Structure 1
Amino acid sequence: MSDINVVVVGSINMDLVIFTKRFPKNGETIIGNDFRRIPGGKGANQAVAAKRLGANVDIIGCVGDDLYGKELQSIFENEGIGTDYIHAVPNKNTGVAFITVNQQGENSIILSQGSNSNLSPKLIRKAEQVIKKAHVLLLQLEVPVESVIESVKIAKKYKIPIILNPAPAIELNATLLEHIDYLTPNETESKQILGRDFGTNEEIINTLKGIGVKHIIVTLGENGVVFNNHAEEIIQLDALKVNAVDTTGAGDAFNAAFGVSIAEGKTITESIHFAQTVAAYSVTKSGAQPSFPYSRELDA
């Protein structure tokens, strides 16, 4: 059994995915191809990806008292993920994401939060003991920001490294950002969280460093990653070249792999290399969680 403990606070959804040659225009109906029902949500995705990479994982989140909620709980248990802090909310639907994937592997997503909006600071405080034992805490923004802030407070109390994937992006205040060890936005999110535009990625990184974020990792899709390392150098790494089938969940695969590697004591550069490998693997398969590799697959 692994001695690395990862705790994820975040959303739990059922993804309803339709594949099509192209996205419809406004007001247009088109005929799609395959339809799939796939477990998802950024929190759930990161939990599954981290578990498959060998970590001990607990997830803190909410589901509805419906069939999707029961099915998702069962999936976590089958993956070996701790579910003691998943709360079933009465009379509320489980979160649902409607995802369209075109033939280039690009996706468009509409999200219904459902029970994810019921993850309160009070429920986070009930999970303090499991957060206390974590080697890294993974956060996103598909749950109420007050609960993200509460999670940060508890993690800082016990000196747990914090990774915040600021998606979906909202403007964040400096009081939250100054406590984040690793911030992992894409280019669009990096501008939205500060509420203004920037000229270069270097300017984004330096601005966020000035607020207090220790490390900023801006993901650039097919153009790779730009980040500041432990020596405070700004470095860009190229993306790995693969034939993309579906990019859904690639960011979650990246964040989970990065978190596992950081928890293992690897450097930020080593952890990003590993995260890029896992994310690249994931886009060669359809769906989010079904595409996440086990460690043995990466070795092969």
Structure 2
Amino acid sequence: MNERVLVVGSLNMDLTIRVPRLPAPGETVSGQDAVRGAGGKGANQAVAAARLGGLVRLVGLLGDDEFGARLRSGLHREGVDATAVGTLPGAATGLALIVVQEDGENSITLAPGANRHLDEAALIRLTGGDPARFTADSDILLLQLEVPVATALAAARAARAAGVRTVLNAAPMPPFDDRLRQLIAYTDVLILNQSEATALLTAAGLAATGPWPRRAAALRGLGPDLVVVTLGADGAVAESADGPLSHPGFPVDAVDTVGAGDAFCAALTLALAAHTPPATALRRACAAGSLATTRPGAQAALPTRAEVDRLLAPEGG
């Protein structure tokens, strides 16, 4: 695969502690030593797409600290083009505090750092003054919401002007204001998990109950051609103009769900960029997401194209 994927999004340093169980409010739970690792939804999805065979460029901001230097080096090792990742003087690199319990479930607290400064002016500067022209060199644009919604909207508008499809992983889900409504209207493919989908349906005044295919169909009314709702270990459902799709999760020994959603988004985006039928793209995405749960960490757990192919081989694709 040599599909060209442009990612505009966040870069974080993850500090992860594994614990017997997640603490209740006000409770202290003793765990293992803290482990540092590369993260951030933008960087995770960029690295995931590169491991799956894509030609990937990332637009984002780092702080001028040790964490920023480590993250930039990691992107280079993974083959991600980071020439449009800027360094912001005096700012801290984004930081995520992650607690993971024994069954892989997790809790995350995020300090955005430099990511919060990736505004529209920074986007224009990092893309050489013309985001639409910069985006035109890509086959597909992949966005998330750990950066300002206004920035994602500017990137989506640039993609529309360049005739490039936009995939939005609406995570974390922000308030449903005019900017988010416009962003979703500019989105070709919308990816959400169950809680994000429920929050968006409720905020948009749509039915937030019933079978997931019906709820995904309601979300299509906001503008996207394809809406995908991930269901954790149960796989994913999708709704397009051709009707509902679904694929179950793959049975794996999960140890850490951090990064699974990012692997899913990258695999789906790359497959759609290659003009893969949506049903096949959904299957590949479920496989990538499942594999990412079998190893600890975010980027460290992301699967390669060969690993996804091996998992899919028994069922022919």
Establish whether residue 252 from structure 1 lines up as the match of residue 262 from structure 2: yes
Runs of 4+ in 1 over 6 A off after TM superposition: none
Establish whether residue 146 from structure 1 lines up as the match of residue 153 from structure 2: no
Normalising by structure 1, report the TM-score.
Answer: 0.95
C-alpha separation in 1, matches of 2:148 and 2:200:
15
C-alpha separation in 2, matches of 1:78 and 1:209:
38
Stretch of structure 1 that moved more, 64-73 or 116-125: 116-125
Indicate the SS of the match to 2:192: coil
Deviation at 1:235, TM superposition (A): 2.6
Q: What does the per-residue CA deviation read over 1:25-77, in whole Å, with 9 as the maximum and x for residues that have no partner?
A: 22222210242101000000000000011111000000001000011111111
Of 243, 261, 274, the match for 2:271: 261
Deviation at 1:298, TM superposition (A): 3.1
Query: Contact (CA 8 Å) 1:230, 1:268: kept in 2 or not?
Result: no
Indicate the SS of the match to 1:85: strand
Q: Which residue does 2:220 correspond to in 1?
A: 209
Normalising by structure 2, report the TM-score.
Answer: 0.90
Aligned AA (2:12): N
C-alpha separation in 1, matches of 2:78 and 2:193:
28
Query: Contact (CA 8 Å) 2:46, 2:56: kept in 1 or not?
Result: yes
Percent identity for Structure 1 against Structure 2: 36
Q: Which residue does 1:273 correspond to in 2?
A: 283
Query: Contact (CA 8 Å) 2:248, 2:286: kept in 1 or not?
Result: no
Q: Which residue does 1:177 correspond to in 2?
A: 184
Query: Contact (CA 8 Å) 1:12, 1:63: kept in 2 or not?
Result: yes
Stretch of structure 1 that moved more, 57-66 or 203-212: 203-212
C-alpha separation in 2, matches of 1:24 and 1:207:
36
Deviation at 1:265, TM superposition (A): 1.1
1:71-86 map, 5 Å? 71-86=70-85
Indicate the SS of the match to 1:43: helix
Of 228, 236, 240, the match for 1:225: 236
Establish whether residue 287 from structure 1 lines up as the match of residue 316 from structure 2: no
Alpha-carbon RMSD across the aligned residues, in angstroms, is 1.4
Q: Which residue does 2:193 correspond to in 1?
A: 186
C-alpha separation in 1, matches of 2:254 and 2:234:
14
C-alpha separation in 1, matches of 2:247 and 2:147:
31
C-alpha separation in 1, matches of 2:164 and 2:292:
28
C-alpha separation in 2, matches of 1:167 and 1:45:
13
Q: Which residue does 2:313 correspond to in 1?
A: none
Stretch of structure 1 that moved more, 156-165 or 199-208: 199-208
Query: Contact (CA 8 Å) 1:240, 1:280: kept in 2 or not?
Result: yes
Q: Which residue does 1:121 correspond to in 2?
A: 120
Give ranges in structure 1 of 5+ residues lacking alignment.
Answer: none
